[in-house]
Amino acid sequence: MKSQALVGSAISTLFLALVAAHVAPSSSEAKPTIVSTAAATETLSVQSSDVELESTLDTTPIRGANIGGVFLIEPFIKPSLFDQFLSRNKEDIPVDEWTFSAALGKAEAKRQLEEHWNTFVTRDHLESMADSGINWIRIPIGYWAFNLTADEPYVDGQVPYIERVLEWSRDIGLKVELDLHGAPGSQNGYDNSGRRGVPEWLHSRTNVDRTLDALAKMTQIAVDWSDVVYGIQILNEPSRWKWEVKDIFAFYNEAYDLVRSIAPDVLFMIHDTFLSPKDWSTLVAPRWTQALMDTHIYQMFDNYMVTINETAHIEMVAKMAEDVMKFDKTSIGVVVGEFSAATHDCTKYINGLGRGSRWEGTLEGIADHPLCPFATCSCTGDYGSNPAEFSAHYKRFLRNYVDAQLAVYDQELAGWFFWNFRTEGAPEWDYILGVEQGWIPSFPRTAMPKLNESSAIVFDDAPTSHEAKSEAGQGKYQLAKSMYGIVVTLGIVVATTCYFLFSL
């Protein structure tokens, strides 16, 4: 009987070894690039049961980048879209998406924007960011993607391109926040709302109803893509300087009920309307659950801040975050939804197309003389658009400045979203460029795709084409899963046979 037991033990050991060999590839075989050693045990159980892998992402801060300037264009992010009009008289040059579309007409605007949607953000960009530690993206969208009237110059058709980004995010393992970035009538009068000028959003109940309709349709996307979309920002930067805070809060409450009626568990995200953190409680209802406050922290849209030196900028990070740290986060968390590496406003069109800069004293209605930390101010060299001209000293400053911000946003708050994922000639605003150049640090990769049949797995040795990667990943996963099933079946047969033989 002892020899029988030894034989049975040997067979059992052999069986377990066979199972392990087929479930976990050896170091010489292709393996998912996103599965960490710590998650290996969880991964094995997922592959055998198709249970969704949540990993340790829930305890990891939001480390995000904005996919801005794509589905709502801004002149400073891609100036070439607007430079085509510079030969016109100043009053005829488009300054936002509204006037851009009106200047081109529906057909040509649709053609140019579809090309832009198709090329400005790619899967390569998302994978590059995930490799450097990004685990979330925030996608700004204008209301006209969901609710467009015939008398408006905007064009729609963005949704299929947005859903393509969601599909890439699912494959790569990125979580997504959908952000309603522009409301009918404009909620702030900035070009980032789609329409620069005098805001009219809350002047009309029709505007509010259309905003809610767009929000409902955007929230439905969150439901349809619930394994990818984890957050809904109901409106970006409604301005407290334009509207009474109580009226903005009334909209927030109405939007909360709407979102919760469609998506009960999605993160409900609001903007602080540029209020001081000590007043944020006026924007929050105690009944809200799963809510986040979004605050945007910049140091260049202010006449004083552009005049302070590099040391003062770094010290200002802690000073600006002090009240945020004091805010009671028991009812609502805080995320820095926008920040950058910029401390000057030299960036082309950053204050709006045709408006100039504080740095050189050309910002209309704001600065009639140069405002900078030096005796003379020039938007060249370290403060120009070409990173090849940046000095080693300036690059070190950028790294120290970004590190100072992340020390707070990454460690003390719910997380952050850098503005922006990429730009066309705005180096301090370009996350991908900043990582490449070294002034933005990389984090361990925490974006982890779900290991089930509805999501592709990307393998190290797959073809370079991302579509091919997805197909190869799915094929290898299915092969591994099939082999696993064969081994399990054979093992059960062998184990059962041995059991009856040794029982005789």
Q: With left for phi above 0 and alpha for psi between -120 and 50, is residue 94 left, alpha or beta?
A: beta
Burial of 446 (0-12, 13-18, 19+ CB in 10 A): buried
Active site residue 200: no
Distances (CA, A) of 203 to 38, 198, 213: 54, 11, 17
Distance CA 449, CA 469 (A): 13
Q: Is-contact 197 186, C-beta < 8 A?
A: yes
User: CB-based contacts of 238: which residues, under 8 Å, 6+ apart?
Assistant: 183, 187, 188, 201, 248, 251, 271, 273
Active site residue 108: no
Q: Is-contact 458 34, C-beta < 8 A?
A: yes
Q: Which residue, 456, 453, 447, 342, is CA-closest to 402?
A: 342
Distance CA 190, CA 96 (A): 9
Distances (CA, A) of 316 to 63, 311, 396, 402: 22, 9, 17, 12
Q: What is the 3-state secondary structure (H, E, C) of 63-96?
A: EEEECCCCCCCCCCCCCHHHHCCCCCCHHHCCCC
> What DSSP element (H or E) covers 175?
strand 175-182
CB atoms within 10 A of CB 116: 18
DSSP string, 359-400: TTT--TTT-SS--SSSSS--SSGGGSS-GGG--HHHHHHHHH
List 97, 237, 360, 428, catalytic entry:
237
Distance CA 364, CA 89 (A): 18
DSSP string, 134-168: --EEEEEEEGGGT---TTS------HHHHHHHHHH
List 177, 338, 360, 428, catalytic entry:
338
Distance CA 86, CA 357 (A): 18
The CA angle 415-419-423, to the nearest 5 degrees, is 150
User: CB-based contacts of 106: which residues, under 8 Å, 6+ apart?
Assistant: 153, 155
> What DSSP element (H or E) covers 109?
helix 106-119
What is the Cα 446 distance to its own chain's centre?
A: 14
**Residue corresponding to tokens 């963005």:** 158
Residues with catalytic function: 237, 338
